[in-house]
Amino acid sequence: MSVVSAFLVPGNPLPVLKPAVPAWGDLAQAMRKAGLALAASRPDAVLVYSTQWIAVLDQLWITRRHTTGVHVDENWYEFGDLPFDIHADEKVAAACVEACPKNGVHARGVDYDGFPIDSGTIAVSGLLGIGGADRPLVIGSNNVYHNGEVTEKLAALARDCAAAQGKRVAVVGVGGLSGSVFRTEIDPATDHFASAEEDRWNRRVLKVMEEGDVEQLRKITPEYAGAARVDMGFKHLHWILGALDGAFRGAHVHGYGPLYGSGAAVVEFKI
């Protein structure tokens, strides 16, 4: 199999913007540790799916080789800007665009200067140490009309397109766990989970991941998504499952904590 490593990481940019906040800094450090593991797996490219890159009409793939700029997050703009310098594997991305219609999915490549790459992809690229010329990204969008099944199909498609070019890949699903965010300003130093029940749900799901019980994980995911308001119904997990052909041996949780009330974890899957 061409997949050499797989990770679930939060896309919220707060660990990048304010790492001095204890809870957020811990997650930043966990992502750096995950980045070392990713680098050690020596991928030729990294398949990235971020819940924050929203698409509606088509499945989009970044086909521009090099994109730079400064991004301002639409939610956390008061905490600072996000400069980015991202290389994409345009050959694999172009193959994904071509392969999608054969799998019943309309697709389009994105290749223009100044395209607004999302906060999650930018934040993750910096903390994991990916997106450079040595580890370019294959970035697929989160089409709101695609369910988990379609998302898994797209991840498998991207993996196969890379394999056809003789490339080893790491897989990264970018998104959060429980989704309740504080609606009033808090002191970041006192950040905590908005709901004790959501915290319990997060921990339950992470434990199932650690045990490598994919059947149980699939069984409880729909209930978890509803009960804990999970980011985009946990489609970023489906991206990972699709790339791994629905199987992994277990997982290591590098970090878990709150991000302004919501849940976030840095998970490395054992494949």
The rounded average pLDDT for each run of 10 residues, N- to C-terminus, in the chain (271 residues) is 95 97 98 98 98 96 97 94 97 98 96 93 98 97 97 98 98 98 96 98 98 98 98 98 98 98 98 96
Q: What share of the chain is helix, strand, coil (3-state, %, to 5)?
A: 40, 25, 30
What is the rounded CA–CA span in Å between residue 117 and residue 69? 9
What is the rounded CA–CA span in Å between residue 75 and residue 85? 21
What is the rounded CA–CA span in Å between residue 68 and residue 12? 20
pLDDT at residue 74, as a whole number: 92
Residue 27 tokens read as 């997650």
pLDDT digits (tens, 9 = 90+) for 202-234: 999 999 999 999 999 999 999 999 999 999 999
Classify each residue of 74-111 as buried b or exposed e, where b means 16 or more C-beta atoms within 10 Å of its C-beta: eebeebeebebebbbbbbbbebbbebbeeeebebebbb
Give the architecture-level CATH label for domain 3-270. Answer: 3-Layer(aba) Sandwich (3.40)
Q: Which residues have C-beta within 8 Å of that of residue 16, sequence separation ≥ 6?
A: 28, 82, 123, 126, 127
CA angle, residues 251, 256, 258, in degrees to nearest 5: 150
What is the rounded CA–CA span in Å between residue 82 and residue 73? 8
Residue 153 tokens read as 């199909």
Report CA-CA distances (Å) from 187 to 172, 182, 191, 201, 255.
Answer: 31, 11, 7, 25, 21
pLDDT at residue 256, as a whole number: 98
Residues 258, 264 contacting (CB under 8 angstroms): yes
pLDDT at residue 114, as a whole number: 86
Beta bridge pairs of residue 172: 7, 48
How many other CB atoms sit within 10 Å of the CB of residue 65? 15
Residues 224, 230 contacting (CB under 8 angstroms): yes
pLDDT at residue 96, as a whole number: 98
Report CA-CA distances (Å) from 90 to 2, 55, 79, 202.
Answer: 18, 19, 32, 36
